[in-house]
Every structure is written in C-alpha cells, then in structure tokens.
Structure 1
C-alpha cells in the first residue's frame, strides 16, 4: 500500500472519532439563531434616567459628564444610583446575608421559559388585588403545568402608570399605598411545587401596597430566602403571550452585588 493510500484510509477511519465530515463543519446552534431572529422580540425594560419611579425609600439618582472631546464625539458620564434602580435584579443577598450575590447567579438561570400570569382586569377593578392560586390553576388549565425552571411574570399593567412616581405608589390621603402584588400561596406553589427559577412584576415591590405601607416585605423575603432572584419594574408585559415565549434576563456581573439595573427582553413564539 502506498503512503498516499494509507493516509487516505487513516483519515477516513479517524473522522468518526472527531465527529466531523469531509464536506463541512457542523452548524451548531446557528440554525436555532436563524429561527429566533425572525421572531418578535419585546423589550421588558424601562429606560434609565435620574427621576424614574422607585421604591419610596430611595432618593433620585444623579448623572454628570466627566469628560468630553467634541472633535472625537467622546463623552464619559458618571452615574450615581442605588442598586435597585429602574428595572432591576434583586439577588438573594439583597435580603439574606450569605446567600447568592449577583455575580453568583449562573448564566443558565438567565435564559428561561416565560410564563405570564395576567391579572390586569382584576387590578382595573381593585388596585389592591393579589394573584390567587385560582388564577394560576386557570392558567394551567389553558396551557398545562407551569414548566420547571420558568421565569414567571405577573402582568398587572401597572407599568402603564410609568413614569409618574405618584401614580406608581398610588398613596391615598391616609398615607396607604394601593398597588397589586403577589400572594404567599402562589409563590409557595410556584417555587416549591412547580420549581420555577425566578419571577418578576411591574410594581416597585413584590408585596402589595397594603403590606408595604406597614413595612411588610415578607413575600420578597420569601423568594430571596429560597435562594432565587427576582426582577422588579418590568415593562410591556401586555405585549406577551401567556405561554410559549422565552425570557432573557441580563445584568452586570457585580462582585458581591446586592442589586443592579437589568436588561430584560422576551422572544415570542
């Protein structure tokens, strides 16, 4: 056998071991991307500025220009804000020392099946409405069991009050805030029975206004205490289907971070 024939035979024998073909490399996930890029993408994030609605205990943020070089179009700004500013992530360490900080949340927890629980019609009639287990069971009757690992967003349409701080807080003459929220029975079901990864909402708080007026944040503490993260002040949930979309939840990898503005978007089926 000639050396040339031996080389050809050896190459043919080895190709299966390296999982390649003689014609072309495998495309990997590019075909998946080609499919996704043709879908509708929806931004679920409010734009950042220094006066946007925020939790009642925070002062406004600041921004100032440090350097400019006009001929080059160069500009550097300094931003000063609390971690929980605008659409933002709350990692477990936000409420529970020793649990995960932002940098400890793996990227595999940032691309998730998206479930939308829609309570906006109930909220129109009652701003103090909290999602019930019946609401969740009705969703599952329509779409099947909420998938493990999902991101569950609570649609109340409260984000349509943006960017008015007073309308977002909705405080009456007696100082009582009136805005919707989660309920303990629903959160326990989602996190402990359905094993979801994370949740989010359009209001400044997980807990409804009637609770936060009394400085009761027990529902937020529950989620974070289970070592899960959440997203607050979501936008455009009214543009999403109840089931079938994907959520992409991104935020800077702040070492030992206890909260930071996030960029969240959905890819629709």
Structure 2
C-alpha cells in the first residue's frame, strides 16, 4: 500500500513543486523487502518445535513444571483484591504463571554456558543466529535397525556425495524419527536413543565450520560422560535439542529461523525453530494461507483445566 501511494504521489508532488520526477528505482521495494516479496512471502513454513506443557518429557533430575493462573499481587482499588485470580468475566483479561522446573525443557537452544561458564549464556547469543541455511541429515533408516545409532562422519560424507558440501555457517539437524513418540513421558528414560558421535560433531564444527547442530532427543549422545555435549560446550559451541518434524523439511535448500527468550544469564533456552522451505515443497503453510491478522477465532474458548494443569480449548 505504501509503495503504491509513493508511485502515485511522487509525480503529482514533482509537478506541483516544479522538480524532476522521483527516480523509479527509489519507488521499488527498498532493501530486504524485495527479498521478502519475491522469495519469503511465497515460501512454505514448517514448525520444528514441540509445544511446552507441564507433562512433556524432561530429565527426571529437573522435577515437574506447573502452569497456573495469575493473581493480583496487590490491592487494585475498584478492580481486584490481592490474591484474586484474574478472569475474563471479572477483569476482562487473563494471564498465566509458569513454574518451570528448568530451562532445559522441550525444544531448546543450549548455549555453551550450560556446561562452561566462561562461554556465552542464552542472552549473549548474537543476533546473527536468527536465519541460516538448513541442512537435514537423515539417519532414520539406521535407527530403525539400531535404536542407539549415532551419526557418524561417514553419514556426513555420504550426504555430501549426494548433495554437495555442507555450507559454512549453516545449521545441521539430524533426523532420527525419535520425535514421533512425543510427548510420551517414557521418552525421557528410554534407552538407548539415537545421538550424534563426538567424531561427527568435531567434523561438522572443525572441518565444515557450521554454526551449530541439532537433534531430536533431549541429549546429544549416550556415553556415560555425555562426551559430545561436554566437548561442544567447552569449546564454545551451542546446540539444538528436542527438534521436531524433520521428516517434513527438505534435506537441502531450506532456511531455519530461530527465536528464543532472552533470559539474563540463562544457561538453557526454550527455542522455536521454523523451517522456511521452497514454495513447491509438499509440507508447510504459506503467508496468507492461514488467518494471521486477525488471527483465528475458535469455536471453543480457552479455559483452565485442573486435570491438564493448563489452559485448553
């Protein structure tokens, strides 16, 4: 709308002021708007993120998280008394409380400070992580015959023989199929599970110089010392855990957008990963294909369900 207005208004203004017409180049989409309109607007978007609820699988050492309904923390004259739970009916709005037992919950971005305090915490991850080329290496067939299979260097070089060299600075996600049983609580204690070998991690970071890797399970490997995660964190590398829907994105040619809360000094990060796939990809949604502004109106309103421990429809 703004660009159309400029195209119409510029010649009129030029005539009234007696100056030369504005350059046609100036009226084109400026900067990266052109990239959005010509490429990203028609792309397919696939969410690679699990929804956080009180009952999702989590390492037993962290305990249980709880969701609740926010209440007034002080007397609000004529509106609410201290301790009153906010409701749509009485106050016109609602709010939630989250007692999260850990920042290692659900789909994550692990900053290296999770293990190594001399390296970056979650709020110190640079903004340049936001959008990167996405590579997906599929080991699902091998996991079907060996539930504890870990990505090997041979899997990476085999991938490159088919698809070409992994781009420097890219994000590499390892598809294992583990996520398909989510949110079965037994996932947090089921052994063995698929992982990524230390040799593969070193190859990806030191030889291919990727930004970070990610995997579907909640741990990097099954060694007694978690050697892969230990090496990553103590060398300043981040990683993604609990990634979902990797069977719904292409192995090459997509981007990944990354978002996460910026907790000061956070040593874990609840993350959201969105794959941005080519327009002809079979999965995902395009801009404008679903309600966005305004967002969808549902037949059933949200309400707090004591049994579920959260708001549901």
Please classify the TM superposition score into its range, dividing by the shorter chain length: 0.7 to 0.9
Q: CA deviation at 1:23?
A: 5.7
Q: How does 1:187-266 map to 2 (within 5 A)?
A: 187-208=201-222, 211=223, 214=224, 216-266=225-275
Q: Deviations over 1:28-71 (max 9, x none)?
A: 21121122121111000001100101123221111110132323
Residues 108 and 271 in structure 2, CA contact (< 8 A), matched pair in contact too: yes
Q: Which residue of 1 aligns with 2:277?
A: 268
Q: Which residue of 2 aligns with 1:55?
A: 59
Alignment CA distance shift 1:22-1:59 (3 Å): closer
Residues 162 and 168 in structure 1, CA contact (< 8 A), matched pair in contact too: no
Q: Confirm whether residue 27 of structure 1 aligns to residue 17 of structure 2.
A: no
Alignment CA distance shift 1:25-1:37 (3 Å): closer
CA distance in 1, matches of 2:182, 2:268: 21
Q: CA deviation at 1:223?
A: 1.4
Gaps spanning 5+ residues in structure 1: where? 1-6, 171-176
CA distance in 2, matches of 1:23, 1:89: 40
Residues 112 and 151 in structure 1, CA contact (< 8 A), matched pair in contact too: yes
Q: Confirm whether residue 154 of structure 1 aligns to residue 174 of structure 2.
A: yes
Match of 1:109 among 113, 119, 129: 129
Residues 139 and 151 in structure 2, CA contact (< 8 A), matched pair in contact too: yes
CA distance in 2, matches of 1:155, 1:198: 15
Gaps spanning 5+ residues in structure 2: where? 1-16, 72-85, 279-313
TM-score, normalised with respect to structure 2: 0.74
Q: Which residue of 2 aligns with 1:76?
A: 95
CA distance in 2, matches of 1:168, 1:119: 20
SS in 2 for 1:261: coil
Alignment CA distance shift 1:23-1:232 (3 Å): closer
Q: Which residue of 2 aligns with 1:3?
A: none
Residues 96 and 225 in structure 1, CA contact (< 8 A), matched pair in contact too: yes
Alignment CA distance shift 1:27-1:100 (3 Å): same
State the number of aligned residues. 245
Deviating beyond 6 angstroms after TM superposition, the runs of 4 or more aligned structure 1 residues are none
Alignment RMSD (CA, Å): 2.0
CA distance in 1, matches of 2:143, 2:245: 16
CA distance in 2, matches of 1:23, 1:150: 33
Alignment CA distance shift 1:204-1:23 (3 Å): closer
